[in-house]
A and B are shown apart, each in its own frame.
Chain A
Amino acid sequence: MTAHVSVHADDSHFSGQQPGAVQKALGMLEAVAQLGPGTSAKEIARFAGVPPTTAYRMLNLLVADGFLVRVPDLSGFALGRRTAELARAAVETSPSPTLHDAVEELRTRTRFGVHVASFAAGRLRFVDKDPDHEIVAVGALAKNLHANALGKLMLAHHPHVRPDPRLRRLTDHTICDPGVLAEELRAVAVAGYAYEGEECRIGRAALAAPIRDRSAFVVGGLYLQGSASRVTPDDAALVRFLVDGSARLSGLL
């Protein structure tokens, strides 16, 4: 059993027949947050409106699982490190509002679809999709990293992420030769952006530029998708718009 095992995993009285128990437990966490460190079990029980015997039992469980800690003389409680994990989970599911604001501002300045993807944990995952433009072939992107601009960006900057070794052919333009792909990835790293010309879907092209965190590590990509005739790497203004835009998102992802 690890520290991350669910609190339901034992006879801890948090059963589905007692939905009130979860409410009480959360109420007690809130009580500790409100009353500050050193709050005694009695005070917490009174604040949360929980019968003392139940409260003592639940508090012991919350301490055992690291959501609360006992103060050194054991008479009171303080919030434990594990409560922070709840908060972090909440942050991860939605990008920070400032990132969204910055991307929205970029979207007002182009007629193409602009999307933000995260490379966290070696996975390609969209965290902010353009509400006005659907991502074409969105399902194929994460599975065929070699065949789209975001994937190539990720492969170029995260050498430990490997593409599917089969290098599936999606269109006639898809790069299926490992040597050519390696050459292409080197070019992406040098150029600072990646281009995808009908490699994923005929008639569609895209550009992608890296988004970096505060320590300049590539943590995601800004993805611009449009028709193959309009989105080209030869359009210097478009490429500059994208690269400048991604620079503005630094540290926000």
Chain B
Amino acid sequence: MYSPLRALGRRQLTPVDLLGQSLSTIAPATGMVFIALWMVTHRPGVGGLLAIAGTTAVVASVALCITQFTRRLAAAGSLYSFVFQGLSARATLTTGAALLVGYLGISISVMSQAAQSLLRIADLLGVHVSGAAPWSVTIGLVALAVAVVTVRGVRFATRAILLVETCSLVLVVALMVGTPAGAGPATTELPDAPLSIMPFLAMLTVLSMAGFESAAFFGPEAKRPLVTVTRTVLISPVVVGVLFVFAAWAALSGHAAVVVGAYFDGTASGASVGVVLAVQAGMTCSWLASTLGCAQAGSRLLYSMGVERVLPSTLARVHDRFRTPHVSVLAFTAASLTGACLYASLAEADSGSFDGVVEIGLVVAYTLVAVASWRFLHRIGEHTVVTRAAAVFVSVLGIGLLGYIAVDGTAHGVWIVPAALAAVAVSGTVWQYVLRRVRPGSLATIGAFDSVETGDILPGAGTLVIGADGRPRILPDVPHSRDGDPA
């Protein structure tokens, strides 16, 4: 008897690869620049810095809840598969929908940003193109490159993005350190924040950290996943939080003026062409890395759903040579491409509400995984004081935050935010209803993870069988009767 996720290229990713995947999905360099921008223009002072640090602490406790699962199982569906271990199939499907909204949303946003900054570089180099059509063409090229790299192989992709992301990080940090303190503020015009500035900064931090748990999608493909994935999930938000606090401090003390000016105003900010080009190139790399990271993570989520037949099982096809779920990669990239083109032509003016929807998806997923961690540890009887505290803290905060975002969105007349919350909330129920009508068998296979195989068990210590409910279980061997060899 074998693990349902056996088809993936297993046991290849090293801890460095996992960190690369995680860091690239977060794309800390871009997050740093945006945080610096808001800190410079809205001047929230030290309070803003504390808001970012506090949010980092909250995200770290979400990470703690998630690692309760990564310590115990490796699953290609990440949070989606984890929630099933603690909650019902309906909650699992809700998490799946929320994660899809979150990852697809980030992917759409970073893909169009990548294309936009590529066009800016072209502009700097003297190729003047503007309008929606060239933007869409560039988005198409980015999508193609991402799809090829992601199908080509998980290791190749993670190595490539770690290198890319490190270069842009070094560049941004060096520029911030190199800029003298007290430089003049940027003159960028900003779209109005849909929320008040403090909650907005917190939301920006959460959005910029989105994907810190993306290493969890690669459990089945990592070496010693229960140790390495756990460590990556715990380390990522802390590292990125430190970088964000550094960026906020740099913005407060005027160190960030050059980077922010060069990225948002180009040569008009007074920066030299070389600096502007370097910043644009670094940010472009970071956006591209983030697009890659999202495509990798999102494709594993679709793959997992395909294996369980919750989505069409074509998505579970794995490339013969590269051992990557190529159909899922293509599906996810195509969806991002479509979304990014729409985003480029329609939603650009209203990126605030788009971010709000993505935020809803992420917070729903994080809240559900915290609740699930409570139920899961209770079921297997492995609760400790720390895990109880983290689960309660994150669940309560998540529910409160969702309520706040919905009320705040309504108050500001951004109806799409509460509407998105309602849609995500009922998605699980609707999905389950559809599955019950179309493919009732899939509800029995939901929650697939890299479960124990016959070959993993010491011969004679137990036999793996399929129970009456269609799920595997281990039966004790009757002593001295090893002839009935396990399947």
**B224 an interface residue at 8 Å Cβ cutoff?**
yes
Pair B473/A71 contact, Cβ less than 8 Å: yes
Additional pairs, 11, CB under 8 Å, beyond known A12-B227, A81-B455, A81-B456: A41-B381, A56-B382, A60-B226, A61-B227, A65-B224, A69-B457, A73-B471, A73-B473, A78-B474, A79-B461, A83-B458
Given A37-B462, A71-B474, A74-B73, also A56-B452 (CB < 8 A): no
Our pick among B225, B384, B476 for the contact of A38 (Cβ within 8 Å) is B476
Residue interface mask A35-70, B partner, CB < 8 A = 1: 011101110000000001100100011011110011
Most buried by B among A3, A10, A78, A80: A78
Measured CA separation A38–B455 after assembly (Å): 17
**B436 an interface residue at 8 Å Cβ cutoff?**
no
Q: Least Cβ distance of A58 to chain B in Å?
A: 12
Measured CA separation A96–B228 after assembly (Å): 40
Pair B456/A40 contact, Cβ less than 8 Å: no
**A2 an interface residue at 8 Å Cβ cutoff?**
yes
- Of all A-B residue pairs in the complex, the 3 with the closest CB atoms, nearest first, are A37-B462, A64-B226, A79-B461
**Residues of A in contact with B, size category:** 35 or more
Q: Least Cβ distance of B210 to chain A in Å?
A: 27
Can you list 27 A-B pairs with a CB-CB distance of less than 8 A? Answer: A1-B14, A1-B15, A1-B224, A3-B11, A3-B223, A3-B224, A5-B224, A37-B462, A37-B474, A37-B476, A38-B476, A41-B381, A42-B381, A42-B382, A60-B71, A70-B73, A71-B452, A72-B451, A72-B452, A72-B473, A72-B474, A73-B471, A78-B452, A78-B458, A79-B461, A79-B462, A80-B456
Task: Tell me the B residues contacting A by CB distance below 8 Å.
Answer: 11, 14-15, 71-73, 85, 223-228, 376, 379-382, 384, 451-452, 455-459, 461-462, 464, 471-476
Pair A52/B384 contact, Cβ less than 8 Å: yes
**A84 an interface residue at 8 Å Cβ cutoff?**
yes
Our pick among B224, B384, B458 for the contact of A79 (Cβ within 8 Å) is B458
| Residues of B contacting A72 in the complex (Cβ-Cβ under 8 angstroms) | 451-452, 464, 471-474
Q: Least Cβ distance of A68 to chain B in Å?
A: 9
| Residues of B contacting A79 in the complex (Cβ-Cβ under 8 angstroms) | 457-458, 461-462
Pair B224/A36 contact, Cβ less than 8 Å: no
Q: Least Cβ distance of B12 to chain A in Å?
A: 12
Pair B380/A41 contact, Cβ less than 8 Å: yes
Measured CA separation A5–B476 after assembly (Å): 30
Pair B380/A2 contact, Cβ less than 8 Å: no
Measured CA separation A41–B381 after assembly (Å): 7
Most buried by A among B226, B455, B458: B458
Q: Least Cβ distance of A44 to chain B in Å?
A: 11
Q: Which residue of the partner chain B has the closest CB to A56? A: B382
Pair A37/B461 contact, Cβ less than 8 Å: yes
Measured CA separation A148–B175 after assembly (Å): 72
**A18 an interface residue at 8 Å Cβ cutoff?**
no
| Residues of B contacting A74 in the complex (Cβ-Cβ under 8 angstroms) | 72-73, 85, 376, 380
Pair A75/B476 contact, Cβ less than 8 Å: no
Residue interface mask A1-40, B partner, CB < 8 A = 1: 1110100001010000000000000000000010011101
| Residues of B contacting A40 in the complex (Cβ-Cβ under 8 angstroms) | 380-381
Our pick among B380, B382, B462 for the contact of A78 (Cβ within 8 Å) is B462
| Residues of A contacting B376 in the complex (Cβ-Cβ under 8 angstroms) | 74
A65-108 contacts to B (CB < 8 Å): 65-66, 69-76, 78-81, 83-84
Given A81-B458, A83-B458, also A63-B72 (CB < 8 A): yes
Measured CA separation A1–B18 after assembly (Å): 13
| Residues of B contacting A76 in the complex (Cβ-Cβ under 8 angstroms) | 380
Q: Least Cβ distance of A89 to chain B in Å?
A: 15
Pair B15/A81 contact, Cβ less than 8 Å: no
Q: Least Cβ distance of A70 to chain B in Å?
A: 6
| Residues of B contacting A83 in the complex (Cβ-Cβ under 8 angstroms) | 458
Pair B224/A80 contact, Cβ less than 8 Å: no
| Residues of A contacting B382 in the complex (Cβ-Cβ under 8 angstroms) | 41-42, 52, 56
Q: Which residue of the partner chain B has the closest CB to A36? A: B476
Measured CA separation A81–B462 after assembly (Å): 11
Pair B72/A80 contact, Cβ less than 8 Å: no
Given A41-B382, A72-B472, also A64-B457 (CB < 8 A): no
Q: Least Cβ distance of A56 to chain B in Å?
A: 5
| Residues of A contacting B384 in the complex (Cβ-Cβ under 8 angstroms) | 52-53, 56
Pair B451/A60 contact, Cβ less than 8 Å: no
Pair B224/A64 contact, Cβ less than 8 Å: yes
Q: Which residue of the partner chain A has the closest CB to B223? A: A1
Measured CA separation A37–B224 after assembly (Å): 22
| Residues of A contacting B451 in the complex (Cβ-Cβ under 8 angstroms) | 72
Measured CA separation A75–B451 after assembly (Å): 13
Most buried by B among A10, A52, A56: A56
| Residues of B contacting A75 in the complex (Cβ-Cβ under 8 angstroms) | 379-381
Pair A66/B458 contact, Cβ less than 8 Å: no
| Residues of B contacting A61 in the complex (Cβ-Cβ under 8 angstroms) | 227
Pair A38/B474 contact, Cβ less than 8 Å: yes
Pair A2/B474 contact, Cβ less than 8 Å: no
Q: Least Cβ distance of B20 to chain A in Å?
A: 16
Our pick among B452, B471, B473 for the contact of A69 (Cβ within 8 Å) is B452
Q: Least Cβ distance of A47 to chain B in Å?
A: 14
Measured CA separation A84–B455 after assembly (Å): 12
Q: Which residue of the partner chain B has the closest CB to A40? A: B381
Q: Least Cβ distance of B190 to chain A in Å?
A: 44
Q: Which residue of the partner chain A has the closest CB to B226? A: A64
Most buried by A among B11, B379, B462: B462
Pair B227/A2 contact, Cβ less than 8 Å: no
Given A63-B72, A78-B462, also A69-B456 (CB < 8 A): yes
Pair B457/A81 contact, Cβ less than 8 Å: yes
Most buried by B among A33, A41, A73, A75: A73
Q: Which residue of the partner chain A has the closest CB to B458? A: A79
Measured CA separation A2–B471 after assembly (Å): 30
Q: Least Cβ distance of B155 to chain A in Å?
A: 15
Pair A78/B379 contact, Cβ less than 8 Å: no
Pair A66/B456 contact, Cβ less than 8 Å: yes
